Amino acid sequence: MTNPHKGRTGIDRVIHAAGYSWSGLKQAYRGESAFRQECWLAMLMLPAAIWVGRNWVETALLAGTVLLVMIVELLNSAVEAAVDRVGFEMHELSGRAKDIASAAVLLSLLLCAGVWLAAVWTRFLA
């Protein structure tokens, strides 16, 4: 059995994929308060990465950790939506999936904070 939604190829596929991606970003911004907060922080932190980073590698690392938090948050939201689609009743596997996705967000936040603290420390305080 083939998926009828997989028939697009070439530039037509790229255009539609971009539309789906944009739709996903809008839905995440509207429906996920954590993602909204991270977007606002990113608008401050991404320009700050240019100021804090002493070279392009540091700047890319600082910006990359901010974007990584947002990426992991999107994946966490996708896991939550898929689990909730199945049902809202408590189930061990559903809880495990949501907890593991949440732990991934926590690790990405810790990584981001660690990289930023180290960069700020060496740039301004050391």
pLDDT digits (tens, 9 = 90+) for 6-56: 778 899 999 999 999 999 999 999 999 999 999 999 999 999 999 999 999
Residues taking part in catalysis: 73
pLDDT in tens, 50-66: 999 999 999 999 999 99
pLDDT surpasses 80 at 98? yes
Binding residues for a divalent metal cation: 32, 80
DSSP 6: G
Find tokens 């930023």 and name the residue.
116
| Per-residue pLDDT, 4 | 67
The confidence score (pLDDT) of residue 8 equals 83
Predicted pLDDT of residue 32: 97
Burial of 53 (0-12, 13-18, 19+ CB in 10 A): middle
Alpha helix (H) residue ranges in the chain: 10-31, 33-52, 56-86, 92-120
* Contacts of 65 by beta carbon, 8 Å cutoff, 6+ apart: 108, 111, 112, 115, 116
Q: Which residues are annotated as a binding site?
A: 13, 17-22, 32, 34-38, 73, 80, 89-91, 98-99, 102, 116-121
